[in-house]
Structure 1
Amino acid sequence: MASFGLKVIRGTFGVAEHVAPRLTGRAAFELFCRTPHEKSLSQGERRAIDRAADFMTEARHHRLKTRTGCVMVHEFRPEPGRASAGTVLVIHGWRSRTEYMRTLIKAYRHEGYKVVSLDLPGHGQSQGRRLTLVSAVDAARVAGEWFGPFAAIIGHSFGGAVAANAVAGSIRNIPPLAAGRLVLIAAPSSLPAIFADFSRMLNVGSRSQVAMADRVERIAGRPLHEFTGDRQLASTPLPTLVIHAPDDREVSADHARLYARAGNHVRLYWADGLGHRRILADKGVVERAVGFVAGRLEPSLQ
């Protein structure tokens, strides 16, 4: 966000906190849910999409209806000659799309898995300019109805939080998504912490933050403070691998530590020096993510 625009927004929220905090809270929540316009893609992002063009032609593309619109799901068959190992669901993060998950998808196909990759609402080839945890979990539900059950769900960044919430059944009126394992890469684990960071950045006051939290409870059916990864994974004892870089500047390493506190079924692997996005293309990370799903990792990580 441009520095001048950010200053204007911070000033507006600061004044509005004292005049109409509930209205300000709702406005802040909608701003939080707004997804980037396609025209805002950086040159690097456009190059990554162009490089993946041939790769995307290998998929079958399905537009599926959710409760709030339509999402695109890309179905990649296993590599020719590979024995079928099951189906995995891949979920990208905020300001991302299936093309950016290419390295992981290729590795799972090479292992014999069919890969179903979801473009979240407002991202990639899916419709809209708005994304909430509720709409994301609903999109995962629809993918599961068509292609599940899944041998594993692999999520990066926000997609990891979506995966954890989907299998835990944490959203009202959305049943838990069936999966055998979870792989969470650079994933946030605390929605309250994310909201707090967002509020500090935009100068959203305490009374307006209460209105934001009320909005979460109204659409998700649970209070904001319950949306933490340790609570969700503790209630869902699936074998889970958490991969995170200590130097991640977008999602603090504290989020990985919170996931790890859920129980002995969660294993934490530190990917030193790989930040938030480079981690997706690292050979060691990819091998570990695939090996965990395939059951090849050493006992200490099973």
Structure 2
Amino acid sequence: MASFGLKVIRGVFGAAEHVAPRLTGRAAFELFCRTPNVKALSDGERRAVDRAADFMAEARHHRLKTKTGCVMVHEFRPEPGRTAAGTILVIHGWRSRTEYMRALIEGYRTAGYRVVSLDLPGHGHSLGRRLTMVNAVDAASHAGEWFGPFAAVVGHSFGGAVAANALVGSVKDIPPLAAERLVLIAAPSSLPAIFADFSRMLNVGPRSQVAMADRVERLAGRPLKEFVGDRQLARTLVPTLVIHAPDDREVSAEHARNYAAAGDHVRLYWADGLGHRRILADKSVVGHAVGFVADHREPALLH
């Protein structure tokens, strides 16, 4: 967002806090949920999509109708000659798409897994311009109905938070996703913390933040304060691998430490020096993510 535009928005939210905090809170929430225009790719993003064209052509593409729209799921079969080992659900992050998850998808295919990659609402080949935890979990649930149960759910960034919330069934009236294992890569652990960061950035005041939280509860059927990953994972014994870079500038390493504190069923692997996005293409990261699912002696893989 341009600095001038950000200053204007901060000024508007700061003034509106004293006049109409509920209206301001709803406006802030809608801005929070607004997704980037999938057609307005940067040069680097366009090159990445173009490089993945042949890779995407190998998939079967399924459009699933959800409660709020349609999402695209890309189904990649195991590499030829591999014994079928189960199905993996892969979920990308904010301003991302299946093409950017290529290294992970290919890693699991090579290990004999069928991979189902979900384009979240408003991203990739899915429709819409709005993404919330609710419509994301709903999309994952529909993928589960068609392609599950899963050997594992693997999520990067916001997709990791979606994966965790889908697995534990945090959204009212959406059943937990059936999966044997969970892999979280550079994933935020706290929705309240994400909202707090967003509010600081846009100068959203405390009364407006209450209105934002009310909106979350109305949509999700649970208060915002319950969407905290370590507390959620503490209530499930699904083996979980958390992969995070200490130098991640978009999602701090503290989120990984919080996840790891959920219990002995959560393992933590530090991917030193890989930041928030380069982590997806690293061979060691892919090896750990695949090995954690394929080899049930996962402690030997970690350090």
Q: Judge same fold: TM > 0.5, yes or no.
A: yes
Instruction: Answer whether contact 2:243 2:269 (CA < 8 A) is retained.
Output: yes
Which residue of structure 2 lines up, in the alignment, with residue 81 of structure 1?
Answer: 81
Shift of 1:299: 2.9
Which residue of structure 2 lines up, in the alignment, with residue 160 of structure 1?
Answer: 160
Shift of 1:236: 1.4
**Letter aligned with residue 273 of structure 1:** G
CA distance in 2, matches of 1:297, 1:110: 19
CA distance in 1, matches of 2:50, 2:240: 33
Instruction: Answer whether contact 2:38 2:122 (CA < 8 A) is retained.
Output: no
Shift of 1:42: 1.1
1:24 to 2:24 alignment? yes
Which residue of structure 2 lines up, in the alignment, with residue 37 of structure 1?
Answer: 37
The share of aligned pairs that are identical, in percent, is 83
CA distance in 2, matches of 1:38, 1:243: 27
| Mapping for residues 23-102 of structure 1, pairs under 5 Å | 23-102=23-102
Which residue of structure 2 lines up, in the alignment, with residue 275 of structure 1?
Answer: 275
Which residue of structure 2 lines up, in the alignment, with residue 224 of structure 1?
Answer: 224
Which residue of structure 1 lines up, in the alignment, with residue 181 of structure 2?
Answer: 181
Which residue of structure 2 lines up, in the alignment, with residue 126 of structure 1?
Answer: 126
Secondary structure at 1:179 match in 2 = coil
Structure 2: gaps of 5 or more residues: none
CA distance in 2, matches of 1:41, 1:293: 33
Which residue of structure 1 lines up, in the alignment, with residue 201 of structure 2?
Answer: 201
Which residue of structure 2 lines up, in the alignment, with residue 14 of structure 1?
Answer: 14
CA distance in 1, matches of 2:11, 2:92: 33
Secondary structure at 1:150 match in 2 = coil
1:135 to 2:97 alignment? no
Instruction: Answer whether contact 1:267 1:301 (CA < 8 A) is retained.
Output: no
Secondary structure at 1:37 match in 2 = coil
**Letter aligned with residue 42 of structure 2:** S
Which residue of structure 1 lines up, in the alignment, with residue 171 of structure 2?
Answer: 171
Runs of 4+ deviating beyond 4 Å: none
Shift of 1:296: 5.6
Structure 1: gaps of 5 or more residues: none
**Letter aligned with residue 165 of structure 1:** N
CA distance in 2, matches of 1:67, 1:298: 37
Shift of 1:231: 1.2
Which residue of structure 1 lines up, in the alignment, with residue 243 of structure 2?
Answer: 243
CA distance in 1, matches of 2:285, 2:106: 14
**Letter aligned with residue 55 of structure 2:** F
